[in-house]
């Protein structure tokens, strides 16, 4: 991967707890003096962690990166469930705290391929309206369960009450696209005969992109149970005060600029794409103009790629030209072509 100053690239940005993802993207826009920015999946205001931001012509990649698997750390509070399944919501259910053994069994049960019902407060659309907007209007509607995958779930830390029951748990999850950690907290608690909601969420990985490589990483709070409890209290206190816009620091602007990734072959491979190059100026022109895709246009025979593969296409001088896709039936088609600058 090459760090560059191109206005077309990918930025790994560490969102802090507090600002919305929209506000965090605003910081990136101001630092790079551009409005052409596309995010690849938002984080709730109370959450912190990795935002993968596509800049300039690479906004076309945003939808592809959104589909990547993700890794999170979550702090779950047991004993109460809220309508939003996180700490800013209203308590709708109380239940006994679980024992450590009950929690361990439940976490194992919610690993692998599962059916998950999304939260009522979510960005999923029902009849053209967000489920969260309908929920705020009191028009609650049960969302259908859908298949998701929890590749790994591991209890990292627990905080017990005076009777030795679990009050808080710090759990790491590696999950497929569309998995709601808030729903996992709800369902794991229910399996224990308890109730729960999130008080902290930290996205540490998107595909092969890691939080440690992001601009602003040093500004993130240490994600421990005690720190998250403290941050949640401060978050609620600040939410009652008039909103103020914090001024971005020049140091953060400089870090954002220095962390811009040019989309070269190495970055494409980090994204999980295969790569190839056009074989000539004529082949490059044919590709840019959407002509029929033939193996002769590329440095790699298209038949050699496995089915269900996305392939990043580069020119002979290493410029990213676009993305093609070989579907499960081995047909190759254009995903998109980067427009000429």
CA–CA distance, 253 with 329 (Å, rounded to integer): 46
Q: Which helix (H) or strand (E) holds 326?
A: strand 320-326
Instruction: Check whether residue 148 and residue 212 sit in a common domain.
Output: no
Residues 203-221: what's their mean pLDDT?
94
Q: What is the DSSP letter of 298?
A: B
Residues belonging to the chain: 341
pLDDT digits (tens, 9 = 90+) for 149-172: 999 999 999 999 999 999 999 999
Where helices occur in 156-274 by DSSP H, the ranges are: 181-191, 225-239, 250-258, 265-270
Query: Is it the case that residue 303 has pLDDT exceeding 90?
Result: yes
Q: Is residue 98 part of a domain?
A: yes
Q: Among residues 201, 218, 234, which one ends one of the domains?
A: 201
Instruction: Check whether residue 161 and residue 97 sit in a common domain.
Output: yes
pLDDT of the residue at 134: 46
| Those residues with Cβ within 8 angstroms of residue 320's Cβ, 6 or more apart along the chain or in another chain | 8, 58, 263, 264, 268, 312, 313, 314, 338
> Which tokens sit at 106?
């439940």
Instruction: Check whether residue 61 and residue 90 sit in a common domain.
Output: no
44 among known catalytic residues: yes
pLDDT digits (tens, 9 = 90+) for 17-55: 998 888 999 999 999 999 889 877 889 999 999 999 999
CA–CA distance, 22 with 17 (Å, rounded to integer): 13
Most confident by average pLDDT, 50-59, 112-121, 221-230: 221-230
CA–CA distance, 96 with 194 (Å, rounded to integer): 5
Instruction: Check whether residue 227 and residue 330 sit in a common domain.
Output: no
The domain that holds 121 is classified in CATH as 3.30.2350.10
Instruction: Check whether residue 58 and residue 77 sit in a common domain.
Output: no
Structural domain tally of the chain? Answer: 3
Query: Among the options 44, 83, 187, 262, which is catalytic?
Result: 44
pLDDT of the residue at 171: 98
Domain carrying residue 316: 273-337
| Those residues with Cβ within 8 angstroms of residue 179's Cβ, 6 or more apart along the chain or in another chain | 70, 116, 148, 149, 150, 173
């Amino acid at each position: 991967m090459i760090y560059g100053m191109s206005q077309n690239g990918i930025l790994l940005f560490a969102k802090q707890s507090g600002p919305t993802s929209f506000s965090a993207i605003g910081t990136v826009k101001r630092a790079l003096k551009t409005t052409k920015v596309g995010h690849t999946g938002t984080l709730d205001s109370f959450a912190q962690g990795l935002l993968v931001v596509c800049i300039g012509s690479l906004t076309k990649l945003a939808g592809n990166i959104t589909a990547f698997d993700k890794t999170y750390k979550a702090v779950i509070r047991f004993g109460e469930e809220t309508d939003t399944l996180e700490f800013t919501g209203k308590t709708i259910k109380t239940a006994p705290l679980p024992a450590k053994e009950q929690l361990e069994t439940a976490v194992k049960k919610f690993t692998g391929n599962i059916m998950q019902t999304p939260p009522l407060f979510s960005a999923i659309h029902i009849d053209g309206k967000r489920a969260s907007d309908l929920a705020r209007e009191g028009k609650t509607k049960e969302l259908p369960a859908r298949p998701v995958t929890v590749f790994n779930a591991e209890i990292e830390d627990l905080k017990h009450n005076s009777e030795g029951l679990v009050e808080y748990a710090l759990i790491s999850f590696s999950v497929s696209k569309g998995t709601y950690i808030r729903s996992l907290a709800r369902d794991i608690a229910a399996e224990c005969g308890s109730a729960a909601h999130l008080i902290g969420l930290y996205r540490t990985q998107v595909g092969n992109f890691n939080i440690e490589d992001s601009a602003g990483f040093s500004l993130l709070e240490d994600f421990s149970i005690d720190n998250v409890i403290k941050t949640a209290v401060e978050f609620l206190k600040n939410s009652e005060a008039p909103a103020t816009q914090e001024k971005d620091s020049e140091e953060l602007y400089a870090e954002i600029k220095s962390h811009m990734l040019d989309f070269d072959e190495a970055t494409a491979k980090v994204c999980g794409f295969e790569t190839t190059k056009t074989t000539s100026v004529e082949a490059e022109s044919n590709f840019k103009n959407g002509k029929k895709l033939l193996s002769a246009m590329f440095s790699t025979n298209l038949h050699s790629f496995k089915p269900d593969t996305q392939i990043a296409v580069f020119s002979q001088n290493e410029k990213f030209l676009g993305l093609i896709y070989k579907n499960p039936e081995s047909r190759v088609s254009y995903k998109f072509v980067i427009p000429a600058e």
